[in-house]
Amino acid sequence: MKTYKKLKQQLLKDRQTSQAYKKLNSEFELTQLIIERRLKQGLTQAELAKKLNTKQSAISRLECGDYNPSLAFLNRLAKALDANLRISLF
């Protein structure tokens, strides 16, 4: 079985895939941070959903990028993960 990092490296060798990935970089970074933070705290998707008073499926959609959360949801998520939400425009 390939690791995520090896698979990612292999997929990003393709120019079109690499360009598409770069366009979505901020979304990938956000979902990666959410997943890492959740796992670091030892929470399942269902447990995090319970803390947010939502369904596990909403967390799943968020983590796979199929959900466009509101700022209010992101603020609740940050609190549930004991994190701070900062948004920046460069």
Q: Domain map of the chain by residue range?
A: 4-80
- Tens digits of per-residue pLDDT, 40-89? 999 999 999 999 999 999 999 999 888 889 999 999 999 999 999 998 88
Residue 25 in tokens: 């970089």
**In this predicted structure, what is the pLDDT of residue 2?**
67
Q: Which CATH superfamily is domain 4-80 in?
A: lambda repressor-like DNA-binding domains (1.10.260.40)
Residue 88 in tokens: 């920046």
Which residues 6+ apart lie within 8 Å of 61 measured at CB?
67
| Range ranked top by mean pLDDT from 3-7, 29-33, 67-71, 76-80 | 76-80
Distance of alpha carbon 23 from alpha carbon 66, whole angstroms: 16
Mean pLDDT throughout 17-32? 82
Please say whether the beta carbons of 81 and 72 come within 8 A: no
**In this predicted structure, what is the pLDDT of residue 24?**
75
Please say whether the beta carbons of 48 and 55 come within 8 A: no
